[in-house]
Amino acid sequence: MGPSIELPLLASTDPSRPFNHSCEVTVAARNGVVVVASINLQLQSADSFGGSPLRRVAIHASTDHGRTFGEGSAPIEGGETVDPVVTALRDGSFVLSTLGLPSGGVLARSTDGASWNAIASGVPWSDKQWHAVDEDSQQIYVGGLDGYFRYGFDGALLGSHVLAQSDPQRRQMVDAYVDAAGAHFATTTRDVMRWDGAGAPVLERADFDGGSDATFFTGVAWSRGALSDGTWSVYARLDGGGGSIVVRLERGADVQETILTPPGANAFLPAATLDSEGRLHVIWYDSAGPTGVLRYARSNSAAPFADGFGDAIDVDPNATPGGFYPSYDSASGGRRLREYVGIAVDGELVHIAWTHAPAAPSRVYTATIRNE
C-alpha cells in the first residue's frame, strides 16, 4: 500500500471563518487521473466538532495516479455546498453532483478533473442525492429526497418526477447504478428505488435486515451494483452494540449473504466497487479495538466470490476512537466522520479516500493499493 496523503483544506473567502475540518468523501479515477470530492467545514474551532458549520465542496485532483494532489478548489460558485458525489467515465471525463444551500442541486462535468462546468443548477432534488451515468445513451440520472431527474450530457433536462412532501416514495440516496430497466438507487432506509427516467419511482425490493439495533447511521452508507445475472450489495448490520459488514448476492430467487468481518467487530460506513475482472473491493471502519481502524479487503475472484476474500488490510490504524460508532446524538458523532467514504479502481490501482478523525480536527486522507 502507498503512503496515506492528507488533503489540504480550502482557503476560506471569509478570513473570520476559516475551514478547519473536512469529511464526507467520494473518489473517482480513470486513466491515471484521480478526483476526490469532499466537504470542508468551519466548525466552532479546529479542536472541536461543535457548532453550526459553514460547508463547501472541495475538489482535489491528481494527474499521477494518486501520488500527489493539488491544493484543491471549490468547483461550485455561490453559497454553501454539501453532499458531493463524483464519478469517472470511460473517456476519462468526470461527473459531479452536489447540493447547494439554499440554491438547490448542481450537476457539473469536467474533462480533466480539475476544471468544472456546471451544466444544471437550482434543481430541487434536496438532501442526500446520488447520481448514476448511462454512458451509452449519454444520460445522467439523479435521485434525491424530493425527486428524480434525467439529464443529457449537455445538461438538458430529459425527464423528471418531483415528489411532494407527503409522498411515501421520498428517500435519501447512498448509491446508484443504471441498467436496461433504468436507474436503481440504494437508500438510507436500506431498500432500493428504481426509476425508468419518466414515470414514478418503484420500490424495487424490501429493506435489508439492518440488525436488531439498526439506526439511521446503519444504513447511511452502503453500496450496490449490477452483475450479469443479478446484483451485489455491501451493507452494515448492527446487533448487540457491534457492527458487521455483509456481502449480499441476489440472483433471481437465490439470495446469498456472507459476513465479511470477524466476530467481535464494530464495523460501519462501508463502501464497495467492482473492478474490470468482477472482483469486489470493500472498505469499512471498525472501532472494536483501542483505536478505530479503516480496513480494506478484496474478493479473490468474481461473483459469486466462491474463493472468498483475502486478508483485510489496515489502511488507517488510527482512523477513529476505539469503541466509537457514529451517531447524530452528539456533535462529535454527527460531525466527526459524516456519512460516507469512497473507493475506486483504475486498472492496477485501488484508490481509497476517507475521513481520519481519531480526535478533532477531521481530515480527508487518500491512499492507493496495488490491485494484484
How do residues 179-226 score in pLDDT, each as one tens digit? 999 999 999 999 999 999 999 999 998 788 999 999 888 999 999 999
Sheet holding 202-205, edge to edge: 173-179, 182-187, 192-195, 202-205
Cβ atoms within 10 A of the Cβ of 132, count?
25
The one-letter amino acid at 148: Y
Residue 247 CA: distances (Å) to CA of 98, 179, 224, 263, 299: 28, 21, 10, 15, 11
Q: What pLDDT is attached to residue 198?
A: 93
Three-state DSSP state, 217: helix
Tell me what the mean pLDDT of segment 249-264 comes to: 94
Q: What pLDDT is attached to residue 325?
A: 80
Tell me what the mean pLDDT of segment 303-316 comes to: 96
CA-based R_g, the chain, Å: 19
DSSP H or E stretch at residue 125: none
Determine what percent of the chain is predicted with pLDDT higher than 70.
99
Integer distance in angstroms from the first to the last C-alpha of the chain? 11
247, β-bridge pairs: 234, 258
Give the burial class of 213: count Cβ atoms within 10 A of its Cβ; 0-12 exposed, 13-18 middle, 19 or more buried: middle
Q: Where are the domains of the chain?
A: 5-370
The secondary structure of residue 302, as a DSSP letter, is S
Residue 366 CA: distances (Å) to CA of 94, 193, 315, 342: 18, 31, 10, 9
Residue 338 has pLDDT above 80, yes or no: yes
pTM of the model: 0.96
Cβ atoms within 10 A of the Cβ of 196, count?
16
Tell me what the mean pLDDT of segment 326-330 comes to: 66
Nearest-5° angle of CA 280, CA 134, CA 38?
A: 65
Residue 269 has pLDDT above 80, yes or no: yes
Tell me what the mean pLDDT of segment 74-86 comes to: 90
Residue 329 has pLDDT above 70, yes or no: no
Q: What pLDDT is attached to residue 79?
A: 82
Q: What pLDDT is attached to residue 16?
A: 80
Cβ atoms within 10 A of the Cβ of 110, count?
21
Topology at the third CATH level for domain 5-370: Neuraminidase (2.120.10)
**Chain-wide mean pLDDT for the chain?**
94
Tell me what the mean pLDDT of segment 321-330 comes to: 77
Lowest-pLDDT range of 38-42, 61-65, 335-339? 335-339
Residue 86 CA: distances (Å) to CA of 70, 203, 227, 246: 17, 25, 22, 25
pLDDT digits (tens, 9 = 90+) for 164-178: 999 988 999 999 999
